[in-house]
Amino acid sequence: MTPARVTGTPGRTRVLVIGGGITGLAAAHRLRGRLGPDAEIIVAEQSMRLGGKICTVDFAGRPVETGAESLLAARPEAIGLARAVGLGDAIVHPAALKPALSLGGRLVDFPAGHMMGIPGDPADVAAIADAKERPDNGLPILEPGQDLSVGALVRARLGDDVLDRLVAPMLSGVYAGDVDRLSVRAVMPQLADALERHSRLTEAVNEIKRPPADGPRPPVFATIDGGLDRLVTATSAAARAEIRLGMTVRELRQTPYGWEVIAGPVPDPIKITADAVVLAVPATPAAQLLRAVEPQAAAALSGVAYASVALAAFAFEHVDLPERSGFLTPASEGKTVKAATFASKKWPHLGRRRQIVRVSMGRLGEEALLQYDDATLAKTALRELGEHLGHRLPEPVDQRIDRWGGALPQYTPGHLARVAAAREALADHRGIAIAGAAVDGVGIAACVASGQHAADDIADLLDA
Ligand SMILES: Cc1cc2nc3c(=O)[nH]c(=O)nc-3n(C[C@H](O)[C@H](O)[C@H](O)COP(=O)(O)OP(=O)(O)OC[C@H]3O[C@@H](n4cnc5c(N)ncnc54)[C@H](O)[C@@H]3O)c2cc1C
């Protein structure tokens, strides 16, 4: 069958954004700002909704996240986007509650003064982990451009206990990954920079953690009252893009005039032409689309592995929860539940009429867990939650299970260099940019920044 051509308006610039997650939408929004009202901006999204890993549902009468729940407010991009699309008044911050660690069936305070679980002073974590800083040789820990795994770094400098009891649970909450395979440069870029100046890990941590001279630090996290879906909807509206849902892009080609893609259902494909393309999809589809364009870039992306997680949410009418934001569990505890968030305590805007708890299960290599049916996963989560809290929990008034298969990219050492090489190779192909969690960072703020940079690169090129 000959694909039908989607005709554009002659003389109008057209940019196709592939992927309607927050990266693609942030890119579309920036493109609108840069290219003006006449540009055609198309967002092709394979599923029937925008947002990707951001998805808010009505649960027990409250807007509850099934995927990402918070924005990093310590960096400006996500918060800045929320303000730019009219959600400044809806930005809310978590209550000042501490997280806990679940150790030996007890919840204990997660020590203060750390960076992703790495202490600035071994004494701060003495109650939890046997931490001794190894003697150093006076040389910076990392040379410029050098990378190593978080596991190798922390094990060598502070010992197994700090890694297993503090750093791994912390990183498991974000990456669900294997600390011995996660790149320091990619997952802790600020620390990696500091490691080029310090011979002691704790000194590098302290340099980053030093409070600003002019007073207390602003809140580190935020979310949107009403749910992060509002950020998705508002960004999409402000971008004034043509949103095409259910539109899987299956082929990507460079032409003498720009780009063309084959998209849509196999029996009824369409061809979309564009002056430029922003590729904002996970690594596997990105690699597949790039194979015919630039095999080197495709190879770099196809090497990014993904971890899967399952989330259970429970709503309780009456339940006794500790005054904490939640807890993390080291893998050595042998539990399926790796973390829990006491959502209605952590986020006061959710109200406390019903207590909502989100439980996360699954580390890298535990994909089989996602095959269990909902009832089994909910039962396991509820039973283990009770074990962590030290008492049996009442029947929840509502519960749900969400599976995120292959959702969290794992950046192994050398990731940033491979991405840089992929971009360099793509620079020979005018008008294509790659962006998103597959390449530039898992957090929403990093994804927003990535989408905006990609849009700026494309706009600079089209303006030139
Ligand atoms: C359970 C979970 C909890 C998380 N919690 C947090 C958190 O609290 N805070 C935080 O900052 N981050 C969190 N994250 C990470 C963050 O949500 C994601 O990294 C980020 O949303 C990814 O955005 P993205 O646009 O790059 O990719 P995605 O959200 O994956 O969007 C990519 C889009 O591309 C579409 N697509 C794929 N292939 C094609 C194709 N061929 N054609 C067209 N469209 C295609 C997909 O359907 C998808 O909608 C969490 C992630 C998960 C899974």
pLDDT digits (tens, 9 = 90+) for 412-459: 999 999 999 999 999 999 999 999 999 999 999 999 999 999 999 999
pLDDT at 157 over 90: yes
For the chain, which domains are there? 4-53+229-304+411-463 (3.50.50.60), 56-74+81-97+306-409 (3.90.660.20), 113-209 (1.10.3110.10)
For residue 392, the CA-to-ligand 1 centroid distance in Å is 35
pLDDT at 1 over 60: no
For residue 360, the ligand 1 atom closest to its alpha carbon is 1
For residue 213, the CA-to-ligand 1 centroid distance in Å is 36
For residue 44, the CA-to-ligand 1 centroid distance in Å is 15
For residue 232, the CA-to-ligand 1 centroid distance in Å is 12
Which of 281, 289, 338, 404 maximizes ligand 1 atoms within 8 Å of its Cβ, making it the mutation to test the pocket? Answer: 281
The reported pLDDT for the residue numbered 352 is 77
Count how many residues are written for the chain: 464
pLDDT at 213 over 90: no
pLDDT at 3 over 60: no
Cβ neighbours for 222, distance < 8 A, ≥ 6 positions apart? 70, 71, 73, 78, 79, 82, 91, 92, 93, 94
Q: Whose CA is nearest to atom 21 of ligand 1?
A: 53
| Cα within 13 Å of Cα(142), Cβ side | 25
Closest CA to 180 of 312, 2, 363: 363
Euclidean distance between CA atoms 387 and 359, whole angstroms = 13
Q: What is the mean pLDDT of residues 155-175?
A: 93
Segment 80-138, tens digit of pLDDT: 999 999 999 999 999 999 889 999 889 999 888 889 999 999 999 998 999 989 888 89
Task: Name the more confident of 105 and 210.
Answer: 105
CB of 20 shorter than 6 A to ligand 1:
yes
Least confident of 6-10, 212-216, 391-395: 6-10
Euclidean distance between CA atoms 172 and 167, whole angstroms = 8
Mean pLDDT in the chain? 93
Q: What Å distances lie between residue 402 and 4, 325, 371, CA to CA?
A: 37, 21, 12
CB of 27 shorter than 6 A to ligand 1:
no
CB of 94 shorter than 6 A to ligand 1:
no
Least confident of 51-55, 361-365, 404-408, 440-444: 361-365
CB of 407 shorter than 6 A to ligand 1:
yes
Least confident of 60-69, 83-92, 208-217, 264-273: 208-217
| % of the chain exceeding 90 in pLDDT | 83
For residue 140, the CA-to-ligand 1 centroid distance in Å is 36
pLDDT at 199 over 60: yes
For residue 450, the ligand 1 atom closest to its alpha carbon is 26
Task: Name the more confident of 71 and 464.
Answer: 71
The reported pLDDT for the residue numbered 353 is 84
Segment 385-402, tens digit of pLDDT: 999 999 889 999 999 999
The reported pLDDT for the residue numbered 105 is 86
Euclidean distance between CA atoms 355 and 334, whole angstroms = 27
The reported pLDDT for the residue numbered 417 is 95
